[in-house]
């Protein structure tokens, strides 16, 4: 029986992950595949109970699991710790790196009933259907960093090896091949040496994919184009730091980051988490939106277990619930039927 490690983490993570587990159990009821769920600690919760943000048991369990479902980490309680020990660096970034999850995939597909929630004009966002592929274990996040004296200074290094670029760009081409056949590689090759190298490797990889329409865009322009004309994009592939910025930006096309799921993959393993954070301000109130986590569970079925049909069932159930006018507070407009976190999870189960 495939093993799923559930890491609720902190803040609203504790409320949203149970909804996704519930949905996974419901969609696989009477199915030949069933999943076993184990639980572990990560982030602030792990610091409090086990002394560090990524305890050895959690890492071992993650290595043994077939897939990981993560809620969210962090909160003001741990913000005064030295940065490398905090939930974000010591927990989230550490598990990504330790498991070699080099590819972060965030699909941004507009749902008709959410067009009104976007701050962009309906005609600009109504057909948005794009995927951002972000390199997740290299670049500015993981290069050498430190401090200097006389004068006091600090630095980070954006470094990429050929292989690191090749594998993510290759996945970009493969992803585009399964979609509309367009790949846009985002860099800053007019300024950065690492970007010029990124572009060279991308052009090498492109030779294996003659049918994919490849374009290159500077990151400043890409940020602009995502607001100006987002429908032009099919698949975007980019460096870790640029990807962090562009994925959040792309999420906002949907009106709320509360709808954006993500998959972080290596060859054999996947970690699935909502794109939003732990939202300490609304934690414990049963008002957080669980849909991004539920949609992340759908990505798990798709990428880790090859259960495409069941993934689509979840996605369709989410659409149906929204279609019927149900919303968590972050998405609600006057006239909507507002549901709590748990009730939204139940509604998705019912719609299955």
Ligand X SMILES: CC(C)[C@H](C(=O)O)[C@@H](O)C(=O)O
Minimum separation from the CB atom of position 271 to ligand X (A)? 11
User: For residue 325, is it left (φ>0), alpha (ψ between -120 and 50) or beta?
Assistant: left
126 labelled catalytic: no
Catalytic residue, chosen from 66, 156, 170, 248, is: 248
Minimum separation from the CB atom of position 262 to ligand X (A)? 7
88 is in an annotated binding site: yes
- Which of a second copy, ligand X, none does 162 bind, CB closer than 5 to 8 A by kind? a second copy
* Residues 117-136 within binding reach of ligand X (CB under 6 A): none
244 binds ligand X (CB under 6 A): yes
For 32, other C-beta atoms within 10 Å of its C-beta total: 5
CA distance 188 to 184: 13
How far, rounded to the nearest angstrom, does the alpha carbon of residue 147 sit from its chain's CA centroid?
A: 31
* Residues 83-112 within binding reach of a second copy (CB under 8 A): 83, 86, 88-89, 93
Residue bearing tokens 């998705």: 348
- Ranges of H-type helices in 212-259: 219-228, 240-252
- Using alpha carbons, list the distances in angstroms from residue 35 to 204, 294, 305, 309: 40, 15, 10, 16
Minimum separation from the CB atom of position 123 to ligand X (A)? 28
Among 89, 68, 69, smallest CA distance to 78 is for 89
How far, rounded to the nearest angstrom, does the alpha carbon of residue 319 sit from its chain's CA centroid?
A: 19
228 binds a second copy (CB under 8 A): yes
76 binds a second copy (CB under 8 A): no
158 binds a second copy (CB under 8 A): yes
143 binds a second copy (CB under 8 A): yes
244 labelled catalytic: yes
CA distance 186 to 118: 24
Answer whether 315's CB lies under 8 Å from 323's CB: no
156 labelled catalytic: no
Catalytic residue, chosen from 141, 160, 272, 303, is: 141
* Residues 56-75 within binding reach of a second copy (CB under 8 A): 74
Answer whether 274's CB lies under 8 Å from 12's CB: no
Minimum separation from the CB atom of position 221 to a second copy (A)? 7
- Using alpha carbons, list the distances in angstroms from residue 244 to 108, 121, 133, 216, 223: 14, 24, 10, 18, 12
Site map (CB under 6 A) of ligand X, residues 26-45, x = contact: --------------------
**What tokens appear for 242 in the block?**
């640029």
Catalytic residue, chosen from 29, 220, 333, 337, is: 220
Q: Exposed (0-12), middle (13-18) or buried (19+): which is 151, by Cβ within 10 Å?
A: exposed
- Strand 36-39 and strand 3-9: the pairing is parallel
281 binds a second copy (CB under 8 A): no
Site map (CB under 8 A) of a second copy, residues 197-226, x = contact: xx--------------------xxx-xx--
168 is in an annotated binding site: no
* Residues 203-232 within binding reach of ligand X (CB under 6 A): 220
Q: Where is the binding site for NAD(+), in residues?
A: 75-88, 277-289
**Active centre residues (catalytic):** 141, 188, 220, 244, 248
Sites of contact with a second copy (CB under 8 A): 74, 83, 86, 88-89, 93, 119-121, 124, 140-141, 143, 145-148, 151-163, 188-194, 196-198, 219-221, 223-224, 227-229, 241-242, 244-249, 251-253, 257
């Amino acid at each position: 029986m495939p093993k799923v490690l559930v890491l609720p983490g902190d803040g609203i993570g504790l409320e949203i992950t149970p909804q996704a587990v519930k949905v996974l159990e419901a969609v696989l009821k009477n199915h030949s595949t069933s999943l076993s769920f184990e639980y572990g600690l990560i982030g602030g919760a792990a610091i409090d109970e086990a002394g560090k943000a990524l305890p050895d048991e959690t890492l071992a369990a993650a290595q043994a699991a077939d897939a990981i479902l993560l809620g969210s980490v962090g909160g003001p309680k741990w913000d005064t710790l030295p940065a490398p020990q905090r939930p974000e660096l010591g927990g989230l970034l550490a598990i990504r790196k330790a498991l070699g999850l080099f590819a972060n995939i965030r699909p941004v597909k507009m749902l008709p009933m959410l067009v009104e929630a976007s701050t962009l004009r309906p005609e600009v966002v109504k057909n948005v259907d794009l995927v951002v592929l972000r390199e997740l274990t290299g670049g500015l996040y993981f290069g050498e960093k430190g401090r200097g004296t006389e004068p006091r200074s600090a630095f980070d290094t954006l470094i990429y090896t050929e292989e690191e670029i090749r594998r993510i760009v290759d996945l970009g081409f493969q992803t585009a091949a399964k979609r509309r056949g367009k790949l846009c590689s985002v860099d800053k090759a007019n300024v950065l040496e690492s970007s010029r190298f990124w572009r060279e490797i991308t052009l090498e990889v492109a030779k294996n994919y003659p049918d994919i329409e490849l374009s290159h865009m500077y990151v400043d322009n890409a940020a602009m184009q995502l607001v100006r004309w987002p429908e032009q994009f099919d698949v975007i592939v980019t460096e870790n730091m640029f990807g962090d910025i562009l994925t959040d930006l792309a999420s906002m096309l949907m009106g709320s980051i509360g709808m954006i799921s993500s998959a972080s993959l290596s060859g054999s393993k996947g970690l699935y988490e909502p794109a939003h954070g732990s939202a300490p301000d609304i934690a414990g109130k049963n008002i957080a939106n669980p849909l991004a986590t539920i949609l992340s569970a759908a990505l798990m079925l798709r990428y880790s277990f090859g259960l495409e049909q069941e993934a689509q069932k979840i996605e369709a159930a989410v659409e149906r619930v929204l279609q019927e006018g149900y919303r968590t507070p972050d998405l609600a407009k006057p006239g909507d039927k507002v549901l709590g976190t748990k009730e939204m999870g139940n509604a998705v189960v019912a719609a299955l």
